[in-house]
Structure 1
Amino acid sequence: MPRTREAKPTINDVARLSGVSKKTVSRVINRSPLLNDATREKVEAVIAELGYVPNPQARALALRRNFVLGMIYDNPNAQMVLNFQEGVLDAIRDSEYALVIHPVDRHSPALFDDIRRFIEHQRLSGVMILPPLSENDAFAALFDELGCAYVRMGSAELADAVHLVQSNDREGVREAVACLIGEGHRRIGLVEGPEGFRSAVERRAGWREALEAHGLPCDETLVARGNYTFETGKAAGAALLDGPAPPTAIFASNDVMAAGVVHVARERGLDVPQDLSVVGFDDTAIAATIWPPLTTVRWPIRTMARSAARKLIHPEAAGREQSRFPTEFVPRASTAPPRR
């Protein structure tokens, strides 16, 4: 007679032998923060004894949804998108969940239909939406209509704590510019971010508030717009440095644009930081690897992403997850007092 395969253990077996519900077993698998250590250890011991391996596909069929989180973005800052993705992967590692990335064109007339199809076809457990899309309340209404859990990422308060991870960009930039003023700089340029981004608005506000707090004028001739890319950082830096009264320091609204400013300064024979101090924002890998190493504001995006994913994986504990994340000023070698 042909041999029959031994039946694989199921989540029902784990629940029965552990004396808990299937929901509790699922929470153990997905590392819910609401479980006490005794319950977690008891269920994990049964899982190990049985050799149970979760089957997300089978559970997805039973629950009529997938153990999949979606990440939706349209953002020129590729490093930011990558860092957010890595933070989500940190959160879902060793869980039942997977991540699906969905880039979109925010200028497309079919944008809402595109996102609707993505959510319906993937049967997502939840979706994370990055700026500037996250700043549009209409997307939140769409997710509510579709019954899809969501978390918005922003540089300001966009929603309630359950649906938001937020940084304090304005305060971080204000501190950075105040440090430049403390070193003696009085003409501090700004390479601002792209139009339509709340992060650009918040970072410009931090620059303005620092100047006003120290009695310095907000000279519009010291402002140039970029698009969070190296090339636009170069163009903006050139516009500022080629003016009739160039700044002695420049704050660029992200590290990539700051690197562009350093590049054009060197092209003009300027020494950074002796002739020009440069400060960025993000503290991405480029900040520590260019020369001189870049003074910047650390944006806790990977930590924010982990929190966003955990809010969706553990909705029962979403209110306990951190929602507001402080930035941190990171001084390096690209800033110094101005030449007399």
Structure 2
Amino acid sequence: MTTQRDKGTITINDIARMSGVSKKTVSRVINKSPSVGANTRKQIEKIIEETGFIPNPQAQALAFRRSFLIALVYDNPSPQYIANIQRGVLKALEGTRFQLVLRPCDRAELNYHDKILSFVQQHNPFGLIFVPSMSEDIELSRKLKERNCHFVRIASVDLTDPAHQIKTADAEGAKLAARHLAQLGHTKVAHIHGPELFQSTHERRDGFKAGLAEFGLSLAPELTIEGAYTFDSGVKCATTLLHGKERPTAIFTGNDEMAVGVYVAARKAGLRIPQDLSVVGFDDTPIVSRIWPPMTSVRFPIRDLGFDVATLLIDSDKMPPAQQRTVPQIVELDLIIRESTTAPVSEIR
């Protein structure tokens, strides 16, 4: 046996020759088939390790009649959300043959369905991961199923095909934020929510309203304003709220990006956080513990969610229908209380 050749030029035929077995047997070991004896498997794996042989993904794709690409499909305007989902997915793909590709979309484009279907036809991915609001597009899901395309979805509501969904308890997380502010004594509470297109917008807003109602409070229409899940929209919406007739003593935002925008608007208005204005975000992204004061936020385990949804995609493809879940996997949220919330000044006095 020789290992003098460039590792990049070693082929599966070389491994078969060095091992004294057929190329088919080597292929079975590479693809973790249980039909190879333990001693033979060990011998082949040792030679693969010593030679540094790397299987050709294109050849594997041809053998399986499917590529090993996993596409993360999104139109989410929050870059921090996408970055954390991506990191979680990549963690799940470590040590596997799968590779991640990003496929941003714009649901406002009339032909965006055609673009995704064209992508699927051209690249024949192993599967797709959809995050909100892409995951909530029922018509797109129907078209993909017609083409036998494998996909999983993250959503805050129940969708069809629960075996291939992870559900996030957005409404319950928002309730925690409302209860916290109500217990501190806030009655003039504002909410900057996300785009109406996102189901998470409705879940978080409805959950926040329900949490306030438990304390006999309501969310005034003039203190409810639509943002875009972006920093700039947070600044703009908070500026409007803070210069209105009824200035709120607390603001709950639909995500942390907008909440950081609230910080900027408050500073420009000469207000202190939390003495003059309490702020609660949603997602608990790394930025909330790096700004001053550190922000209270609903913890949404985005990176873990990315790991779990990628694992679900890989595992559900191997699981027979009879063993698949009949209800979606649910991710619970909790509230992380930091220094951006306190009792309103009137209560302190």
TM range (shorter): 0.7 to 0.9
Say which of 309, 329, 333 aligns to 1:323.
329
Q: Structure 1 unaligned runs (5+)? A: 29-34
| Contact kept in structure 2, 1:253 and 1:281, CA below 8 Å | yes
Distance in 2, matches of 1:236 and 1:266, equals 14
CA distance in 2, matches of 1:27, 1:322: 29
Determine whether 1:336 maps to 2:342: yes
1:151 is displaced (CA, Å) by 0.5
- Calculate the aligned-residue CA RMSD, in Å: 2.8
- Whether the 8 Å CA contact 2:15–2:47 is kept in 1: the answer is no
Deviation at 1:223, TM superposition (A): 0.7
1:69 and 1:97 in contact (8 A); partners too: yes
Within 5 Å, give how 1:254-293 maps onto structure 2: 254-293=255-294
The one-letter amino acid of 2:338's match is R
2:136 matched to which residue of 1?
A: 135
Aligned residues of 1:25 and 1:43 also touching (Cα < 8 A)? no
Q: Counterparts of 1:269 and 1:149 in 2: how far apart (Å)?
A: 52
Partner of residue 48, structure 1: 46
Aligned partner letter, 1:285: P
1:46-82 Cα offsets, whole Å, 9 max, x none, are 5234435333221111222111111111121111111
Aligned residues between the structures: 325
C-alpha change, 1:89 and 1:275, in structure 2 (3 Å) is: same
Structure 2: which amino acid aligns with 1:283? D
- Alpha-carbon spacing, 1:88–1:214, altered in 2? closer, same or farther (3 Å): same
TM-score of the two chains, using structure 2 as the length reference: 0.85
- The structure-2 alpha-carbon separation of the partners of 1:266 and 1:113, relative to structure 1 and needing over 3 Å to count, comes to same
**Do 1:229 and 1:256's aligned partners in 2 also have CA atoms closer than 8 Å?**
yes
Residues in 1 aligned to 2:158 and 2:73: alpha-carbon distance in whole angstroms: 19
Would the alpha carbon gap of residues 14 and 291 (structure 1) be closer, same or farther in structure 2, given more than 3 Å must change? farther
Q: Counterparts in 2 of 1:225-264, with a 5 A limit?
A: 225-264=226-265
1:53-132 alignment runs, 5 A limit: 53-132=54-133
Q: Deviations over 1:251-282 (max 9, x none)?
A: 01111100111111111111100111000001
4+ runs deviating over 6 angstroms: 3-6, 39-42
TM superposition shift of 1:160: 3.0
TM-score w.r.t. structure 1 length? Answer: 0.87
- Match for residue 31 of structure 2 among 14, 26, 47: 26
Cα separation, 2, equivalents of 1:157 and 1:41: 48
Give me the whole-angstrom Cα distance separating, in 2, the residues matched to 1:331 and 1:56. 47
Match for residue 193 of structure 1? 194
- The answer to whether residue 300 in structure 2 is matched with residue 299 in structure 1 is yes
Instruction: Write out per-residue CA displacement over residues 57-113 of structure 1, whole angstroms, 9 at most, x where no aligned residue.
Output: 211112221111111111211111111111111111121000111111211121111
Output the CA distance in 1 between the equivalents of 2:39 and 2:148: 34
- Residue 14 and residue 105 in structure 1: after superposition, are their counterparts in 2 closer, same or farther (change >3 A)? same
What displacement does 1:13 show? 5.8
Tell me, in whole angstroms, the C-alpha distance in 1 between the residues paired with 2:195 and 2:42: 49
Task: Determine the C-alpha separation between the residues in 2 that align with 1:287 and 1:210.
Answer: 23
CA contact (8 A) 2:66 2:125 kept: yes
Identity of aligned residues (%): 36
Contact 1:307 1:322 in 2 (8 A): no
CA distance in 1, matches of 2:279, 2:86: 28
Structure 1 distance, partners of 2:189, 2:231, is 20
* Aligned 8 A contact 1:15 1:25 in 2: no
Alignment of 1:156-235 (within 5 A): 156-235=157-236
Q: Is the 8 A contact 2:235 2:265 kept in 1?
A: yes
Letter in 2 for 1:261: V
Sort the Cα spacing of 1:45 and 1:259 in 2 relative to 1 into closer, same or farther, 3 A: farther
C-alpha separation between the residues in 2 aligned to 1:300 and 1:270? 31
